[in-house]
Amino acid sequence: MAMIAMAMPIAPGHEDSWRAWADELAGPRHDDFVASRRAAGVRERTFLQQTPMGQLVIVTLEGDDPMAAFAQMMGADDEFTRWFTAGASEAHGVDVSQPMPGPPPQLVFDTEA
């Protein structure tokens, strides 16, 4: 099973809107969220990290091909995905449906490897 992790800052002034979006994701939209990730073949875990430079959202995707799953999830054209990408894009200040510039996250250490 492969895993990737991504850290994305919450844009300044968007902390409350991110929290409201996350609450909806954990509440009334939770079943759609789970179905989306299962359809892509990944397990997603999301962490909120407070730092001196602001808040970071750390997302892990675990599955057979998490990078392909991420592209599949962000490229889908259904109501849930449109809602998800709009909220995530607003909170992070980038269009999450587009490939991020630069190389993918790099695994540096793995105690099991």
pLDDT value at position 38? 97
pLDDT value at position 104? 85
The per-residue pLDDT for range 23-52, each reduced to its tens digit, is 999 999 999 999 999 999 999 999 999 999
pLDDT value at position 1? 87
Instruction: Name, in order, each residue with C-beta under 8 angstroms of 63's C-beta and a sequence gap of 6 or more.
Output: 1, 2, 40, 41, 42, 43, 69
Length of the chain: 113
pLDDT value at position 55? 96
Measured between alpha carbons, how far is 109 from 113 in angstroms, rounded to an integer? 8
Residue ranges for the chain with pLDDT beneath 50:
none
Domains, the chain, in order of start with CATH, read 2-92 (3.30.70.1090)
pLDDT value at position 99? 78
